[in-house]
Amino acid sequence: EASLAQAGAVTSPQAARRTLDVHRRAFLENELHGAWRRVIAMVVQPGVDFDQSSIQHYDADAATELSAFVAEQPGLVFEAHSTDYQRETALHAMVRDHFAILKVGPAATFALREALFALCQIEEELLPAHATSQLMQVLDDVMVAKPKNWIKHYLGTPDEQRLMRRYGLSDRCRYYWGEPEVAAAVAKLLANLDTVAIPLPLLSQHLPEQYLAVVQGSLPAQAPALIEHKIGSLLAQYARACNRNAAVPVIAEAAIC
């Protein structure tokens, strides 16, 4: 807990001012006045972060001085670093406090993984074992065979590492969806589910939010649409926070191989 709080310490107004002054001088000394006028934001830490299983939530009181600093800079807002897994109320508060560009990455790919794993569980209920995609196992096998993208992040016993590979909030498995074996398993999963009707009780069990949309008639019970809806529901929180607080809903993706 202490290390998470330390990692997510709020940027001091003094550090923000130094960063702004250094960059302003660099632009102006190189006669880039026009380019400097197009600068709209600087990246700061508003006091939010996460590790594999816990979240440091936004504390508006702790960010008061930093928020007041940027309010005095005409035409400038903050880009909030690492807003993944924040409550929607916190996203609204951050935008209100001039952290108007919300950076999100792992939370979006985490939603993708959740949707695919849920569909795997549905697939296992509907098809014989020999015909299923085995996506969850294929993904883990590839991650174990190619540990570069997770080994420094997931410490602990082999069992703890296995859980984090599958479910950790940092979602290091996002770097593996492009691996040929994993991509082939995803394709097989989608193809398998395209041959059957997904029963409503299974949707309710494994994808409850999507189930509600399906029964309301706004979403087809088809795997690609269910995945898109799952991710879209997460990103919609950011759009609402920006739109309702008169900010442009800019979302920066994390790198995905």
Give the pLDDT confidence score for residue 255 in this predicted structure: 34
| % of the chain residues with pLDDT over 70 | 93
Distance CA 104, CA 252 (A): 6
* Main-chain phi, psi angles of 254, to 5 degrees: -75, 155
Residue-range domains of the chain with CATH: 2-103 (no CATH), 107-233 (1.10.400.20)
pLDDT in tens, 192-218: 999 999 999 999 999 999 999 999 999
The model's confidence at residue 99, banded by pLDDT at 50, 70 and 90, is: very high
Compute the average pLDDT of residues 13-22: 97
Q: What is the pLDDT of residues 167-194, one digit of tens each?
A: 999 999 999 999 999 999 999 999 999 9
CB neighbours of residue 209 within 10 Å: 13
Cβ atoms within 10 Å, residue 197: 9
Residues forming a β-bridge with 55:
50
How confident is residue 2, by pLDDT bands cut at 50, 70 and 90? Answer: very low
The pLDDT score that the predictor gives to residue 7 is 64
- Over pLDDT 90: what percentage of the chain? 90
CB-based burial label for 54 (10 Å; 0-12, 13-18, 19+): exposed
Q: What is the pLDDT of residue 244?
A: 83
Q: Report whether 226 contacts 209 (CB < 8 A).
A: no
CA–CA dist 176, 182 (Å, integer): 7
pTM of the model: 0.90
Taking Cα atoms as reference points, which of 223, 226, 196, 193 lies closest to residue 212?
226
The 3-state DSSP composition of the chain as helix, strand, coil percent (nearest 5) reads: 60, 5, 35
What average pLDDT does range 102-114 have in this prediction? 96
Average pLDDT over residues 230-255: 76
Classify residue 165 as exposed, middle or buried by CB count within 10 Å of its CB (0-12, 13-18, 19+): buried
- Residue 252: pLDDT band (50, 70, 90) is very low
pLDDT recorded at residue 182: 98
